[in-house]
Every structure is written in structure tokens, then in C-alpha cells.
A and B are shown apart, each in its own frame.
Chain A
């Protein structure tokens, strides 16, 4: 970093514009549609519940949006004591 950089302040408006453009492109696309993450959460929960009894709280679904790619993260914790398959329980 040169001494001149100390005096050069990066302007913030272009950053604001870029952030807004990215965000709004996504928000417009998903406008009017029900929340994707909660739909996924519900359906995943239903599939798991067919086989294993788990509590709602043990299922975490989150979506991380990137510029070119998004990641969907699903975290399912199956506690050992209640993890008995339904077939066995019944």
C-alpha cells in the first residue's frame, strides 16, 4: 500500500449499485412464488418422516446465493435414541 492510498477513499455508491442489482434480480425472480426454502424443508421433512422419526428442529435448510452459483445446505441431525426406524418401532 502506497502512501497515496491513504488519501484515496474508495467510493461507496458503485458498491451499493452492484449489491442492489444482484439482490433485486433475485427478489424479482422469486416474487409471487412461495418461499422455496420452506417448501423444500417441508417436503424433505415428509420424506424423512416416512422412515425415521425426527423432530422439526433437527432439520436445517438454508440457501446461500452467489453471483454465478447458489448452494443449498441441508443439515439433518438424527439423534441416536429416537433414530429407530419406524418399522422396528411398530
Chain B
């Protein structure tokens, strides 16, 4: 039985899809069988980030409606043979997803794959709730910024109330993944620190992904950053986060930026 992990955030644009691709590829690299499922019906993008946009024939909605088999819709990654993508549909409306349909697809994926990553759409509506519905674990992608932290808090509330696990009296195991972290700005007290975010959300930390140009470059190339540039800062952070997700006890090191001469001169305090 594979594990189902939802990658969610509430707020849009914080890095859900990028993180799904990077974490999924990182886990698949270790030889585990991984399926990435795009739940963003109407606004799919995981295919683009994975560089598989020209190979999409069938999608999640086709499978749910019975017009395609699951095996026909799954796209195997060209770089990693243990990594698969189930794209969202681009044209149909999002009511095309039914809870029973999603339950069946997830159950079948779970029986074949070691990990099923569900890339949630932004918001807290139907699509986002279906993406988290059958999750065992959740990665809450958060930027160190007020609106993102607030929305993450809201999502944490939903994970504790609206998931299958929650309704059965169990808990979805939650992890916060802080993305776009800028150590220099945090040191100058211009950005919420990791401690601030964790204290407010009171949820364990999966990793800290530094703000990095490598991430944009990887998207441009259509490759998860953990595959295209595994030695760069952001990729390393994702690779470590993936190891923690698999249960390894690996301490998180907060990226550290020394206070510059100018900051000292101007007396800027660190938070």
C-alpha cells in the first residue's frame, strides 16, 4: 500500500506544483515508484513543469469518466523510469471530479505506487478538498509572508476536519515546507523568520527552500529542479525534504546570512 501525500497551500503561487515535481522526482530517484497527480482541473501545469506537456493524451477526468484506462492516462517520465504523471484535464469544468471517482483512482494508484503525490489547486473549494480527501500526509507549502501563512493555517484546519482520515478519527500527518525563503531579508527583520512561521502554524517543518533562480530555470526547461540541477541550493533542500518525508531523521539547517557591514552601520535589527 502506497502513501498518499497532498501538496497544498490555500494561497496560489507559493510553489505547490514546483514542490510536487521536485519532491516527487527526489523520491523516485531513490527507486521508489511515484505517481504525481494534478488536481488543478482547468488550469493544469504539472505537465509543463515536468516537461511532459506534449505527451498528454488522456487525463484524470477521462479516467474518472471511464473514457480512458488509468494505464493509458499515466505518462512515464523520460528521465526516471519510476516516475509517472497523471495530468489534470485542461478544458472540462472542475465539477467533472466526483468524490467516488477520485476515491477509486487514488485506491488503484495506491496499490501500484509507493508514493502518490496530489498537487492541489489553490483555494479551499471542491478541487482542493478532493485533492486532500484521501491523503495520509500533507505538505503545506508556505511562503514567509502574512497572507500565505494565514491561508496555510486555514488549510491546516481543513486537513484536520475534511479529510477521510480526520473523519475516521485519525490525523493526516502534516508538514510545513517553507519556500522562497530569503535568509538575508529574514536576518534584516524584513521577512518572517522560520521560527515565526513554525510558532504560528505549530506544525513540524519538512524543509526550507531558499529563494533561487535555479527553480525558475528548471521550470523553463521543464524539469524538476531535483533532476536538472541536483547540486544547487534549492534542489539540495528539496532532496533533504524528500528524505524527511520518507521518515529519515535529518535536522533542518536554517539558511544563515551574515549581517552585512551596511546593516550594522545602519543599526538594522534582526527579528
Contact = CB atoms under 8 A, between A and B. Distances in A.
Interface of A: 4, 7-9, 11-14, 16-17, 19-21, 23-24, 27-28, 31-32
B153 A11 contact: no
Interface string B65-92: 0000000000000000000000000000
B200 interface: yes
Contact of B150 (A17, A23, A32): A23
Given A16-B192, A17-B200, A9 B266 contact: yes
Contacts, number: 54
Nearest to B270: A11
Q: Interface residues of B: mostly helix, strand, loop or mixed?
A: loop
A8 B150 contact: no
Nearest to B195: A17
A12 B154 contact: no
Contact of B271 (A13, A21, A24): A13
Contact of A11 (B146, B150, B157, B188): B188
A12 B269 CA distance: 10
Given A4-B267, A13-B189, A20-B192, 14 more contacts: A7-B266, A11-B190, A11-B269, A13-B186, A13-B191, A13-B192, A13-B271, A16-B192, A19-B146, A20-B146, A23-B150, A27-B153, A31-B157, A32-B157
A26 to B, nearest CB: 11
Contacts of A9: 266, 268
Contacts of A14: 189, 271
B200 A28 contact: no
Given A13-B271, A14-B271, A17-B192, A27 B200 contact: no
B191 A20 contact: no
Contacts of B153: 24, 27-28
A5 to B, nearest CB: 10
26 contacts: A7-B267, A8-B266, A8-B267, A8-B268, A9-B268, A11-B190, A11-B268, A11-B269, A11-B270, A12-B189, A12-B190, A13-B191, A13-B271, A14-B189, A14-B271, A16-B145, A17-B271, A19-B146, A20-B200, A24-B200, A27-B154, A28-B153, A28-B157, A31-B157, A32-B157, A32-B161
A13 B157 contact: no
The size class of the interface chain B forms with chain A is 20 to 34
Interface string B186-218: 101111110010001000000000000000000
A51 B141 CA distance: 53
A3 B160 CA distance: 52
Given A8-B267, A20-B200, A32-B161, A13 B150 contact: no
B149 interface: yes
A64 B157 CA distance: 24
Nearest to B191: A13
B196 A17 contact: yes
Interface in B11-39: none
Contacts of A17: 192, 196, 200, 271
A28 B150 CA distance: 11
Nearest to B153: A24
Nearest to A14: B271
A31 B124 CA distance: 14
A77 B194 CA distance: 50
